[in-house]
Structure 1
Amino acid sequence: MLAISVELLHGTFRADPDGTANTGGLTRGEWPPAPSRLLAAMIAADGTRDRCKVTDGSELEWFEQLPPPVIHAHSRPWSQALHPRYVVLQTGSAAKSAHLEYIGRKGIKIRPGARITPRHPHVVYSWNIDAPTARVEALRRRAARIGYLGAADSPVRVRVSDHLPESAASEDAYVPDPGGEVSIRVPQRGDVRIFDRMYDAWVEHGAAVARAQFPALNHEARYRSPEAAPRVDRGSVVAWLRLETAVSGRRVSTVTDLFKQAVLRKHQGIHGEPPPVLHGHGFAGRGYDLARFIALPDAGHPRSRGRIHGLALWLPPGCDPGLQGRARDAAFEVRRLFGGGLDIRVAPHAGEPRPLAATPQRWDRRSRHWVTVFPAVHERRGSLDLEEVSRWCAHAGLPSPVAFRSARSPLVPGGVDLAPAELNRPGRPGLPYSHVELWFEEPVTGPVVIGAARQRGLGLCVEAPEMGGANG
């Protein structure tokens, strides 16, 4: 666990989330305080490069790559729109429109925006990770030098810990969720270098340089607020990985089989006997609730080629956090897939924006319209109709589609056309398979995988643009 707690020393917080405060259009302030502000405050506390005094700065590059944290904060704070006021403009010379209290000085109108007052003056950011001791200690030194967060009249005390403080228990939680209704700014890999460029430009050009001139610092993550409707547990991806060398999508069965065997071996070596949910032997639940070993291809864009760039390990609903953590550990320890004519190096996904096919953002979107990249294996022989496809979706933990269409060949650029020998397992009877396009009444959050072979990643779907032509 890594936890960073922020205590609001005045009990209030003031910040301009989108640059509209000086226009008078900001009526509600930023809440909760964005995690991106933590990175900015850490940088300001001890600088970067040769300006570092108490650290070497490497902890900032580690911190900017962390996934979005859970934010423990009051969900319904009081927001007070502040009245504009006039202050003295320090021009250095006399002005005709003099300020009444300061002869020869001009007054300027300031619009401070809004002040937030939460129920409790605490905000806690938590990451469920095993943070290196040296990184935590370096962040702790920087946190001790932070004076305020947001505006200068929002003084804070920041603490870094390896456990969740008691103050978090009394607060609500904003949880990262691709289907969430709140957008909150978060750090991203490369932000420290952008801050350095912004500082260099400010040193050279002075006040003419503004944060708004560096839009590359604006990254938003979707969050589910505490007041949102409870999310139905449909399972989740516990590990995202990327391949150092892309592989033809026609090798999907070989790649996912090697991935599964590698995860099982790593789990055996780290935590002992793998649970049945990973290998399927002796599994007491429904056969539909097994882990899915998914290959992530380049698909859905006009120039997509269907080559596999990443991997994902999905676990079904109901898996306890301990099991998820052990499976994640095993997947992240996989460094090589070897066999079947393949020798591929693998690494955990660390937030790199490219290749897009290996990023979580490509597969965990919400959409009403999905189409298979790899063909879906039919669950039984017979004609394919909406009722049968609805059975597939129910078994995959998805709502019933309102319409579908199917074809033998791919329906999306980059879709992979597999031969029976590349899809069916040796020694087992072959089942029919099809590419399928699905329309749902309500948006569905990915990754969407359907069909009898979804545990091997077959039937993986990609978000498709809205268009007509469905057959139901």
Structure 2
Amino acid sequence: MLALEVEYLMGRVIASCHDDRKMVEWPPHPARLFAALVAAFKECALGDTVRDALEWLEALPEPGIYANPPEHGGWVRDVCDVFVPVNDPKKKTKSVLPDKRLRQQRWFPAYTPNDKTVYFIWNDAALDEQKATALQEVAENVTYLGHSMSPVRVSVRKDLPENHAPTLTPHPQGTLLLRTTGQGRLDYLETLHLQRSENASLQPRLGRVSEYRIEGTNTTPSPRSLFQRIYILRKEQGCLLPLESAYSLCSLVRKALLERCADPLPESISGHLTNGEPSNQPHMAVMPLANVGHRHADGHIMGFAVLFPEYADTHERKQLEQGLQKLQRITLGFLGEWQVGLLDAESLETAAKTLQPETYTTAHEHWATVTPVVFGHYPKNKPGKDALAIIGQACRDIGLPQPAAVNIVPGSCFNGVPQAKDFKRSTDFQRVGHLKEKMLAHITLSFDQAVQGPLLIGAGRFLGLGICRPVIRKEKNHAGK
């Protein structure tokens, strides 16, 4: 395991929330600690070994945190308005005496916790001696966290004191939002520092935000699909493709990705057994990401997501990720090629909504198709009941409960989505012998409780068909007739 111990030497923290300068930030957010480590790394010029350790640290999952929440004791200081002299403008050649400087309003919110020590805890981190030494080297050069009036001592630990288990843990249904890090944050902070030499007013982007819950609170997690590892690739250059070509595009993406993954290919990536037979277990899926669901949507594909089962072996996941890093071009035959880029956590912050995983994973009771479902057989005389049974089994196949209601509808709820018959008429789809005779239909489905996606169902779910999105009221208002 890895734990970073932060001791507030004055017994108090002075740090403002990013969205309210009069409120103290407590517990300290993981992103704040990481920024302090990066500042120490740059100020002390600690070298490539430390940089590699920071890149490793930023890519770890969200840490657990030991810190006593304000409601469990401590003292919050009243916040007063303070007017302080501003710095000299850079363009002026002469300094301005302090009593002549302009003054601006500032606040210094403070909190004195019962326990002045905080632990950031990664229980499953594979920490070796080289990384531990490098992290300790940068940690011991961190002098404060938040304002300079709250000095700290930071150190690396491989164990925890007794009775110091995390009091805050990452949880999809948590109510406490904390800023965390993701791959690429170090590069972003370094670039921002260079940009601020020209424009000091630039502030860092918020970055990744994760839900946390206070241990001991009752939080019932929403059921979620098996596909919780999501990799987003954006089209950087290439022709426009309509959503009707989703199956063909996803097939080409799968082929290109398999060529770039190291052999032997496991069942979780290839979707086939060693004897060549199709696997009946969840495996890698490719999902189109199209411009749909708003007033001006035109349905063209903007990129795609590669989904991987949550329970897959770590080695197999790394094998897939190495293949994704090499995937830069998709050959489209006479249409030329697409140039694509794998988006990291920082790039996703400014990406279009349709490229953000939350668009397809947000917990909700009501869902509808973006690409039509391929039914294994035609529903019988009572289509409502038979469709419910068919889709119910499809939901159970990806780890979700039986839906309460399923309706076959003539068109999607989302603006910009073609009708199911348009998918079936496409030339590419007609060449797929085992699918062209099957029934395609858009559906809506409702659950008795909120469920988390990605929700992909039906016979074509691994190659871009049967993709669903939550039906948010705002999207309903913009849906086409």
Identity %: 20
Query: Helix, strand or coil for the counterpart of 2:13?
Result: coil
Cα distance in 2, alignment partners of residues 87 and 414 from structure 1: 51
Query: Helix, strand or coil for the counterpart of 2:319?
Result: helix
Structure 1 residue identity aligned to 2:363:
R
Offset of 1:64 from its aligned partner?
12
Query: Could you tell me whether the CA contact under 8 Å between 1:21 and 1:113 is conserved in 2?
Result: no
Structure 2 residues without counterparts, runs of 5 or longer: 86-105
Structure 1 residue identity aligned to 2:408:
S
Offset of 1:332 from its aligned partner?
2.9
Task: State TM-score, norm by structure 1.
Answer: 0.72
Offset of 1:449 from its aligned partner?
1.2
Aligned to 1:261: 255
Cα distance in 2, alignment partners of residues 375 and 321 from structure 1: 32
1:218 matches 2:197: no
Q: 1:263-302 counterparts in 2 under 5 A?
A: 263-267=257-261, 270=262, 272-282=263-273, 287=280, 289-302=282-295
Offset of 1:67 from its aligned partner?
5.6
Aligned to 1:45: 40
Change (3 A) 1:177 1:273: farther
Does 78-87 or 375-384 show the bigger shift? 78-87
Offset of 1:432 from its aligned partner?
0.5
Cα distance in 2, alignment partners of residues 348 and 443 from structure 1: 30
Cα distance in 2, alignment partners of residues 338 and 287 from structure 1: 29
Number of equivalent positions: 425
Does 421-430 or 394-403 show the bigger shift? 421-430
Does 382-391 or 299-308 show the bigger shift? 382-391
Task: State TM-score, norm by structure 2.
Answer: 0.71
Change (3 A) 1:83 1:221: closer
Structure 2 residue identity aligned to 1:221:
V
Aligned to 2:357: 360
Cα distance in 2, alignment partners of residues 85 and 413 from structure 1: 49
Offset of 1:461 from its aligned partner?
1.5
Change (3 A) 1:20 1:348: closer
Aligned to 1:322: 315
Query: Helix, strand or coil for the counterpart of 1:225?
Result: strand
Query: Could you tell me whether the CA contact under 8 Å between 1:178 and 1:445 is conserved in 2?
Result: no
- Deviation per CA, 1:428-456: give whole Å up to 9, x if none: 25211111223333222222212221111
1:240 matches 2:262: no
Aligned to 1:306: 299
Q: 1:119-138 counterparts in 2 under 5 A?
A: 121-124=118-121
Aligned to 1:97: none
1:443 matches 2:446: no
Query: Could you tell me whether the CA contact under 8 Å between 1:8 and 1:154 is conserved in 2?
Result: no
- Deviation per CA, 1:342-390: give whole Å up to 9, x if none: 5222322123222432232333322223221111111321244252333
Change (3 A) 1:44 1:265: closer
Q: 1:92-111 counterparts in 2 under 5 A?
A: none
Aligned to 2:434: 428
Q: 1:16-415 counterparts in 2 under 5 A?
A: 16-18=15-17, 30-31=26-27, 33-42=28-37, 44-45=39-40, 66=58, 69-74=61-66, 76=68, 78-84=72-78, 112-118=109-115, 121-124=118-121, 143-152=139-148, 154-158=150-154, 165-167=158-160, 171-172=165-166, 179-186=173-180, 217-219=205-207, 221-225=209-213, 227=215, 228-229=219-220, 234-235=225-226, 236-245=228-237, 247-267=241-261, 270=262, 272-282=263-273, 287=280, 289-342=282-335, 343-350=337-344, 351-352=346-347, 353-383=350-380, 384-385=383-384, 387-388=388-389, 389-415=391-417
Does 326-335 or 120-129 show the bigger shift? 120-129
Query: Helix, strand or coil for the counterpart of 2:74?
Result: strand
Structure 1 residues without counterparts, runs of 5 or longer: 92-108, 203-208
Structure 2 residue identity aligned to 1:166:
D
- Deviation per CA, 1:50-96: give whole Å up to 9, x if none: x885569x969x969956842132265554024559999999xxxxx
Structure 2 residue identity aligned to 1:34:
H
- Deviation per CA, 1:130-172: give whole Å up to 9, x if none: 99x9x99998765443102124454334457xxx933499643
Cα distance in 1, alignment partners of residues 124 and 58 from structure 2: 8
Of 406, 419, 441, the residue aligned with 2:424 is 419
Offset of 1:30 from its aligned partner?
1.0
Offset of 1:20 from its aligned partner?
9.4
Query: Could you tell me whether the CA contact under 8 Å between 1:64 and 1:191 is conserved in 2?
Result: no
Change (3 A) 1:278 1:42: closer
Offset of 1:413 from its aligned partner?
1.5
Change (3 A) 1:334 1:199: closer
Change (3 A) 1:46 1:436: same
Query: Could you tell me whether the CA contact under 8 Å between 1:16 and 1:150 is conserved in 2?
Result: yes
Offset of 1:252 from its aligned partner?
1.2
Cα distance in 1, alignment partners of residues 7 and 140 from structure 2: 14
Offset of 1:191 from its aligned partner?
5.5
Does 277-286 or 318-327 show the bigger shift? 277-286
